[in-house]
Structure 1
Amino acid sequence: MCFADSQFLSGLQKTSSEEGLLAPANVNVPTCGELFAGCGGMAIGLEQAGFRHEWMVEFNPVACQTLRSRFHGSWYEQPLSVIEADVRTVDWSRMDAVDIVAGGPPCQPFSRGGRAGGENDPRDMWPEALRAVREIRPRGFLFENVKGLLRPAFGEYLARILSDLRRGGETESNAPDRYEVAVISVNAADYGAAQKRERVLIAGVRADCGVLTPFPRRTHSVERLVWEKWVSGQYWEKHGMLRPDCGPTSRVELAVLHKLERTGLEPRELPWLTCRDAFVGLGEPTGGTSISLHEFRTGARIYPGHEGSPIDEPAKAVKAGSHGVPGGENMLVDCTGAPRYFTVREVARLQGMPDTFEPAGSWSQAMRQLGNAVPAQLAVVAGRCIQECIHA
C-alpha cells in the first residue's frame, strides 16, 4: 500500500511507561516545529519516532504550561521554545529551520459535532498551516484533523488545500518547491490505541528531499480481539477472569464472530486494546488514590446519545468536553452497566501519554486538553514513516 489521496489506513500501539521515550541527544536527530501544539500528543509521538522539537506554537495558556513542564531535559541542548501566540501573528520565516512542520489545525469547523462552517468558520486555521509551509519550506509536513474534513461538503475546499500544499503553500503554479502530498484516513485502534478514534492525516514530502513510501499496514484488529475473547478465550485468561456466558453483546463483535466461525481463519494481527487493557495497574479510582490524576469523580450518568465506553472494548473517541454536555461521553461502563467518568490518568493512557504526563490546570482543563490531543500512538507511526520518506 502506498500513500494516496484516497487511501484509508490507521494508527499505533501505546505504552504507559517512559521506556524508549527519550533518545540521547545528538547532532543527527531530525528536527520538528509544531503549530497548534495543544498539550503535546503529537509532540510525544513524534519524539518517540525520533524527532526533536525546536519550537512549538500554541494559543491556549494552560496548554502552554503543560508543554513547558513536559518538554525539557537531556533531549534538548537548550530549553525548547514554547511560543504562546495566535499563529496568525507568527512570522514563520524568522523561526529556526526544521526538517518537518507538524500540527493539528482546529477541527471544530469540520467536526460532525460542530457548526460545520468549514472555511467560513473563523476558527479555520488551514490557511495558517499553508502559510507555515510556504515560509518555512520544510523537507516534509504532517497535519492531523477530524474525519469530517473528508465530507463531500468540504470536498472543494480540501482540494484547494491539497493543491496549495503541493505547490508548497504558494498560489503560483511556478512555485520553486513542490511537495508530494497524501491524505490518509486512520483509526488509532488499528495500531494499538485503546480508543476508536478516526482521524485524517495529511502528509507531504518536498520533491527534492525524498518520496512518499508505503504507510504501515495495521498491526491490530477487531477480528483478533473477537478471536481472543470468544474463540480462544485468551483475553479473559490474561485478565484472570472467567469468560462471560452471554457471549458478545456488541453488534459489531457479534457480526465479526459469525464471520470468523464461517471462515475458521485465525486473524494474525494483534488484538485491538480495550479499556481494561489500557488501565492495567491503575485499579479503581478513589478519593485518596496515590496515583496522580486518578481520582474518582461523581455525577456520571447514561442518557440517549451518551452511553459511555464498555470496559472490554476500545473506548469511544475521547472528547474535548469534560462531561456529557457539551462535548461527549468520557465515561467508562463496567460489566454491570454502571457508568463513571474516566479519570484524567485514564484518558491520558487512552491518548498514548506516559504516566509521567501531567496536564496543567483544573480537572476540566486537563480533560479538554487531552480530548483535543492528537493520539500519540498515531503520531509515532506517522512520524516514523515520514522520517523514512525524507531520508529516502
Structure 2
Amino acid sequence: MGELQRTVLYDLHKEYGAKMVPFAGWDMPVQFASGVMKEHLHTRAEAGLFDVSHMAQVILRGDDAARALEALVPVDVIGLKPGRQRYAMFTTPEGGLLDDLMIANKGDHLFLVLNAARRDVDLAHLHANLSGLEVEEITGRALVALQGPKAEAVLAALNPAVRDMRFMDVADLELAGATCWVSRSGYTGEDGFEISVPNTMAPRLARALLDDPRVQPIGLGARDSLRLEAGLCLYGSDIDETTTPAEADLGWAIQKVRRPGGAREGGFPGADRILAELTDGTERRRVGLAPDGRAPMRAGTQLFADEDGAEPIGSITSGAFGPSIERPMSMGYVPAGMAKPGTRLFGDVRGKRLPVSVAELPFHPHTYKR
C-alpha cells in the first residue's frame, strides 16, 4: 500500500477526535468521539456532516456531451434537464456494473461524482470512450455531505435558497463565503445535501456547519449502517462487474426511453443482456435479509435453503446492526424464486445454520424532499 492521501479536512477530523482508517487509498475517519451508534442515530434525528472528498469529481464538456455519455450508461442523460441530477451506472460489455455514479446537468457541462475505489478505472473508461469530449478531473475541491431531517434548516441559515431545492436538484450557491456546487441528495436515505467546495474554503464551511448545535461530524462506520438501512448498494460489496442492473434490483434507474421499445433503446455496453433481463427476469436477485436474533450476518455468509442443505443457494454481500431499526440487517443475492419477502433461509455463521428471512427494502424509509 502506498502512502495514504489526506483530505483537506484531515486536521479538523483529528480535532474532533476521529479514529482514522485506510479507505480506497485515503486516510478517512471511521468514527468520532461519540461512536458509530450515536453518530448514526444523530443523523436520523438531526444532521450529520460527512467528509466524502475521497470521491472523484469530473466535468465533461463538449458538443452533445449528453448523447456521448449515453453510450456508456443505460440511463436517460439527454433528457436530464439543467439543474437536475440522476443516478447512473457504467456497464461492461458482459452486462455487469463497472461502477455506479451521479450525473448532474450544470447547463454548459455535465458534472459526475465517481466512487473513490473506481476512480482510475472510471477515468480511463471515460478517456478511452469519450475522445471527442474534454474530461476534466477536479482536484481543487472538497466534497462534504450534510444529511438528516435538520439539514435544510442548518444549510438555510447560510443560504435560504436551499429551501427551494427538491430531491436531485443541483445549484451553484454561496455558502460561508464560498461558491459551492450543491445537490439535494445523499447516501443515507435522509433528506440532505452534497456540497462541492473549493479546498481553500472547505475547513471554513465545515466549521460553520459544525458550529450549529444540530450538526455532528459522522464517520464511515455510520455512513455504512445508514446506507444499509436505506437499502443502498455499496460498489465492491453489493454490486460489481459480475452483477447486472436487474440482478441488483436497479432496474428503476433505467428510464423508459432506454428500455425495450424506447426511443433510444440500448446503445450502451451489455445492452442485449441488460434489456433482456429487464423483460424476462433474472436467475438471482439482490434482496434484503433479516436475521433472527440480535447478531448480524455479515458479508460472505453463505445462504442455504434449509438447515441441512449441502449447497449454498446464495450469499450475503452486506450486513450490520441497524441502530434505527434496532435489529440486524443484511443484503445479498438469492435465486429469483426465493426472493419473495418472508421466505425463510439459513445463513452459515461459524458452522451453525441460523435462520434468516427475506425482507422488504429499504429497512428504514427514505425521507427525500420530493
TM-score when scaled to structure 1?
0.27
Higher percent of residues as strand: 2
- TM-score (structure 2 length as normaliser): 0.28
Q: Greater relative contact order (Cα 8 A, min sep 6): structure 1 or 2?
A: 1
The structure with the greater share of residues assigned to helix is 1
